[in-house]
Homo-oligomer: A and B are copies of this chain.
């Protein structure tokens, strides 16, 4: 049985599906009216349940209506649910859409002001408080994984400088296990401005770096307000950002000092979480 707001669509060029066309190619972050696409049952359920972002529409494969019945009860009655055969859905998306469930969210006015997000956190979160700060991370998988780890280890927010890619990009949302849809974040400005906002709010900044002059992670007392700063995979953090923070090193094998940036964040976050437990 179709939900009340279901609308059957039989041709791929139906204009109501425009937000879903060629989603791999489309630059959803800038040229698409502030919309973003969410895929997969668990993530769409998170989008609906958390309610942080408005939902413009859902787009389902007709074979998925029954397994998704529990999700559909969460869809507000004024949100259209477009339903199409698998071949139409594939043609719209531009690739085989095996998951069969998409939603279009509205970014609204996402936060670019780190100070504003930090003042909201200060009102809502008891101490201790942890931030994850990302500078110049251009890989959506890494940004998504950083959010997933921040959520797993109880960080209060993620700050991203303007060089980072969009955490509301489809792949970043998926890799984050949906946590970019609810974990507070601010995205914009320079790395130096982001660090200044954290310091102004009373946070000590640990700059994660493989450089030998970094203090070993476990050697430092964990401050009540701590921001963990990660830089681009490959070059790492620039010297000026490291110089204005506490350089911290994850001890590693001498011959192979390389782990993924999100993994480095997880190691630091796990240590901090365990130290405070």
Q: Which residues of A are interface residues toward B (Cβ below 8 A)?
A: 145, 148-149, 151-154, 177, 179, 216-218, 250-253, 256-260, 262-263, 266-267, 270-271, 273-274, 277
Measured CB to CB, the closest approach of chain B to A206, in angstroms, equals 15
Measured CB to CB, the closest approach of chain B to A178, in angstroms, equals 10
Pair A151/B262 contact, Cβ less than 8 Å: no
Pair A152/B277 contact, Cβ less than 8 Å: no
In the complex, the 6 A-B pairs of residues with the closest C-beta atoms, listed nearest first: A154-B253, A267-B270, A151-B256, A263-B266, A152-B259, A218-B274
In the assembled complex, 21 residue pairs joining A and B whose CB atoms fall closer than 8 Å, in A order, are: A145-B263, A148-B258, A149-B263, A151-B256, A152-B252, A152-B253, A152-B257, A153-B252, A153-B253, A177-B258, A216-B274, A216-B277, A217-B270, A217-B274, A250-B270, A251-B273, A253-B273, A259-B266, A263-B266, A267-B270, A271-B271
With a CB–CB cut-off of 8 A, which chain B residues contact A262? 263
With a CB–CB cut-off of 8 A, which chain B residues contact A216? 274, 277
With a CB–CB cut-off of 8 A, which chain B residues contact A149? 259, 263
With a CB–CB cut-off of 8 A, which chain B residues contact A271? 270-271
Query: Among B148, B154, B252, B267, which residue has its beta carbon within 8 angstroms of that of A267?
Result: B267
Pair A260/B145 contact, Cβ less than 8 Å: yes
With a CB–CB cut-off of 8 A, which chain B residues contact A217? 270, 274
Measured CB to CB, the closest approach of chain B to A24, in angstroms, equals 15
Q: State in angstroms the CA–CA spacing of A257 and B154 once bound together.
A: 10
Pair B259/A277 contact, Cβ less than 8 Å: no
Pair B273/A148 contact, Cβ less than 8 Å: no
With a CB–CB cut-off of 8 A, which chain B residues contact A177? 256, 258
With a CB–CB cut-off of 8 A, which chain B residues contact A256? 151-152, 177, 179
Most buried by B among A250, A260, A277: A260
Most buried by B among A154, A260, A270, A273: A270
Q: State in angstroms the CA–CA spacing of A177 and B177 once bound together.
A: 25
With a CB–CB cut-off of 8 A, which chain B residues contact A253? 151-154, 273
With a CB–CB cut-off of 8 A, which chain B residues contact A266? 259, 263, 266-267
With a CB–CB cut-off of 8 A, which chain B residues contact A274? 216-218, 250-251
With a CB–CB cut-off of 8 A, which chain B residues contact A251? 270, 273-274, 277
Measured CB to CB, the closest approach of chain B to A20, in angstroms, equals 25
Query: Among B148, B151, B154, B260, which residue has its beta carbon within 8 angstroms of that of A148?
Result: B260
Q: State in angstroms the CA–CA spacing of A148 and B263 once bound together.
A: 11
Q: State in angstroms the CA–CA spacing of A149 and B253 once bound together.
A: 10
Contacts A153-B253, A216-B274, A217-B274 known; list 13 others, CB within 8 Å. Answer: A145-B260, A145-B263, A148-B258, A152-B257, A152-B259, A153-B252, A154-B253, A250-B270, A251-B270, A252-B273, A262-B263, A266-B266, A267-B267
